[in-house]
A and B are shown apart, each in its own frame.
Chain A
């Protein structure tokens, strides 16, 4: 019996499920009844593997970061998801889901996006497959992420502003869900993280698990063993983390570390440290930990990185947190920016600011010299240059 997989009711321990209006029941039921079977077919697998290899550029390297290892006196590997086409791990999921949508004869694709990375990854696969693409994006995010809006438009997607509520990622997600309610038959919703109602958290984890599968093979040839001592990844909704953790969840010898954004500090009221500030509740159809006021109204998180300022975490991560299987560390804006700078200067890799959070944990941990650490270098920093530039006064 696997302790950290989704159960037959769509729950990870106390978390998950599908707390959605009846209006979505048939959409989710169709997906739930079919996704596992479709993913297992030879046709799906051959297309998926081929696209991951030739289009995404997989396998991504597992890079031994010698300079960083020397500085922190431990063995540091980077799983280079930042080298994927479109600049982050997000495309692993969108490639898989577009094939799933095709198998289900869907002709219209919708997605939500915060910073625009998932929107770009979705627009990309829709361009590739010739499917109509509508991306919901908070009005506020559209203003501050103009380059990604332009990318989506070049790729042929329609970017629709989410004008409700706080006009950011959570509202874009609400709008995408409402669109799905209004278009139940021919539309597939490509959710971007391991969040939302069952079966999405499991579906996205399954598609992202390619990350940890590759790590096992690559580590075997580099270290003569398949399992690292630590796997470390940043967690917003948690898809890059779920992808890196998935193959190691049941092996308790592997320590799991999730890194959250504490923004200006956990007590600053400008934070996204969900495991510290959140309580159990329901967001976007899933029971999980989320930031909310005492009445259960969802509150707006803050982080300098647009990809981490989501008020919840995926139900898998809530389960890992509650059971103690994973340790969560929260990192401030300042710590993340310095870590991003350090990785740039020492290894020649400019990470996305989301990713940079993971590299700021060294002062909170005592790693041994022969510990093997695998970090998910989940995205590249191109999209964040403006933020870096402003922050460091370049």
Chain B
């Protein structure tokens, strides 16, 4: 079967991928949020598995993680909540988390459960690509899971070429060298970086994340790439408005 991420990437449009922290604002919101996002024509969803010490994340995602853990979210709980999700949801679902949670669950067990649910890819910001290739690539492939790597403005062209050799669906292009949610706009350097990487003719598509919060940043970031990932801005919206007006948030991005 064709991987749903590849199918989504073949659409002739700029894609919107939304990140949310599972178990936030309420423990049992996971399924409702996914359904509302698909209904709002989001192209992909990143389900954040909350972690106690999320190094790549700024205060917004971190606080949502702390709250989600307090609410009782865990790896097992998330898998249980997602059990029959494929009866209703067709867009790609990606799990984003930190490697220790996967390691403690068991990497293979984690991949088996993810495949059964119908998860399409995994983002583990703190699992370095060399260790992934050496120890875990075969397991991911056996379970039809894409491993989505990150690049940043500091990543050398040579390293980007190496990273691009993986068949990863897309490369998560971090807009600036900052933790999530900390950017207030894009400067000239950032726009140059989007263009420079966009012109590298990589085999994998590029999706830009970190610092995308509205229509303006979305358009700038997706000009030379396949689309954008929105996380902190969406979490902020959930905190302020709850889960009932998700459609409004997505409409404003387009």
Q: Which residues of A are interface residues toward B (Cβ below 8 A)? A: 17-23, 25-27, 164-165, 170-171, 174, 177-178, 181-182, 184, 279-285, 292, 294-298
Give, as a whole number of angstroms, the nearest-CB distance from B79 to chain A: 12
Q: Which chain A residue lies CB-closest to B69?
A: A297
In the complex, which residues of chain B have a beta carbon less than 8 angstroms from the beta carbon of A281?
Answer: 100, 103-104
Give, as a whole number of angstroms, the nearest-CB distance from B167 to chain A: 18
Which residue among A17, A177, A295, A298 has the maximum number of chain B CB atoms within 10 Å of its CB? Answer: A295
B35 within 8 A of A: no
6 contacts between A and B (CB under 8 A): A19-B99, A21-B150, A178-B55, A184-B154, A282-B98, A282-B126
Q: A164-B62, A295-B75, A295-B101 are in contact. Are A23 and B51 (CB under 8 A)?
A: no
In the complex, which residues of chain A have a beta carbon less than 8 angstroms from the beta carbon of B154?
Answer: 23, 25-27, 184
In whole angstroms, what is the CA distance A39 to B102 when docked? 37
Interface segment among B86-94, B175-183, B212-220: the answer is B175-183
Give, as a whole number of angstroms, the nearest-CB distance from B88 to chain A: 27
In whole angstroms, what is the CA distance A181 to B210 when docked? 13
Q: Contact: B126 with A21, CB < 8 Å?
A: yes
Which residue among B53, B126, B178 has the maximum number of chain A CB atoms within 10 Å of its CB? Answer: B53
Q: Contact: B178 with A182, CB < 8 Å?
A: yes
Q: Contact: B155 with A21, CB < 8 Å?
A: no
B138 within 8 A of A: no
Give, as a whole number of angstroms, the nearest-CB distance from B190 to chain A: 14
Give, as a whole number of angstroms, the nearest-CB distance from B53 to chain A: 5
Give, as a whole number of angstroms, the nearest-CB distance from A315 to chain B: 14
Give, as a whole number of angstroms, the nearest-CB distance from B4 to chain A: 24
B127 within 8 A of A: yes
Q: Contact: B100 with A178, CB < 8 Å?
A: no
Q: Which residues of B are interface residues toward A (Cβ below 8 A)? A: 51-53, 55-56, 58-59, 62-63, 66, 69, 74-76, 98-105, 125-128, 131, 149-152, 154-156, 159, 174, 177-179, 182
Contact of A283 among B59, B100, B127 (CB under 8 A): B100
In the complex, which residues of chain B have a beta carbon less than 8 angstroms from the beta carbon of A165?
Answer: 52-53, 62, 66
In whole angstroms, what is the CA distance A282 to B97 when docked? 13
Q: Contact: B103 with A282, CB < 8 Å?
A: yes
Q: Contact: A294 with B104, CB < 8 Å?
A: yes
Contact of A296 among B100, B177, B179, B182 (CB under 8 A): B100
Q: Contact: A22 with B149, CB < 8 Å?
A: yes
Q: Contact: A22 with B100, CB < 8 Å?
A: no
Q: Contact: A21 with B56, CB < 8 Å?
A: yes
Give, as a whole number of angstroms, the nearest-CB distance from A139 to chain B: 14
In the complex, which residues of chain A have a beta carbon less than 8 angstroms from the beta carbon of B63?
Answer: 164
Q: A26-B154, A182-B182 are in contact. Are A19 and B127 (CB under 8 A)?
A: yes
Q: Contact: B74 with A295, CB < 8 Å?
A: yes
Give, as a whole number of angstroms, the nearest-CB distance from B144 to chain A: 24
Q: Contact: B179 with A170, CB < 8 Å?
A: no
In the complex, which residues of chain B have a beta carbon less than 8 angstroms from the beta carbon of A298?
Answer: 52-53, 100
Q: A26-B155, A164-B62 are in contact. Are A20 and B53 (CB under 8 A)?
A: no
Q: Contact: B59 with A164, CB < 8 Å?
A: yes
In the complex, which residues of chain A have a beta carbon less than 8 angstroms from the beta carbon of B99?
Answer: 19, 282
In whole angstroms, what is the CA distance A18 to B126 when docked? 8
In the complex, which residues of chain A have a beta carbon less than 8 angstroms from the beta carbon of B182?
Answer: 182
In whole angstroms, what is the CA distance A279 to B53 when docked? 17
Q: Contact: A23 with B174, CB < 8 Å?
A: yes
In the complex, which residues of chain A have a beta carbon less than 8 angstroms from the beta carbon of B131?
Answer: 17, 19
In the complex, which residues of chain B have a beta carbon less than 8 angstroms from the beta carbon of A177?
Answer: 55
Given A23-B154, A281-B104, A296-B105, 6 more A-B residue pairs with CB atoms under 8 Å apart are A22-B152, A23-B177, A170-B53, A182-B182, A282-B98, A285-B55
In whole angstroms, what is the CA distance A174 to B125 when docked? 15
In whole angstroms, what is the CA distance A170 to B52 when docked? 10
Give, as a whole number of angstroms, the nearest-CB distance from B134 to chain A: 9
Q: Contact: B100 with A282, CB < 8 Å?
A: yes
In whole angstroms, what is the CA distance A295 to B178 when docked? 27
In whole angstroms, what is the CA distance A181 to B57 when docked? 10
Give, as a whole number of angstroms, the nearest-CB distance from A195 to chain B: 13
In the complex, which residues of chain B have a beta carbon less than 8 angstroms from the beta carbon of A178?
Answer: 55, 58, 179
Q: Contact: B177 with A181, CB < 8 Å?
A: yes
Q: A182-B179, A182-B182, A184-B154 are in contact. Are A19 and B128 (CB under 8 A)?
A: yes
Q: Which chain B residue lies CB-closest to A295?
A: B74
Q: Which chain B residue lies CB-closest to A297?
A: B52
Q: Which chain B residue lies CB-closest to A294?
A: B104
Give, as a whole number of angstroms, the nearest-CB distance from B34 to chain A: 21
Give, as a whole number of angstroms, the nearest-CB distance from A16 to chain B: 11
Which residue among A170, A178, A298 has the maximum number of chain B CB atoms within 10 Å of its CB? Answer: A178
In whole angstroms, what is the CA distance A282 to B52 when docked? 12
The 4 closest A-B CB pairs, nearest first, are A296-B104, A26-B154, A21-B56, A22-B150
Q: Contact: B179 with A181, CB < 8 Å?
A: yes
Give, as a whole number of angstroms, the nearest-CB distance from A112 to chain B: 13
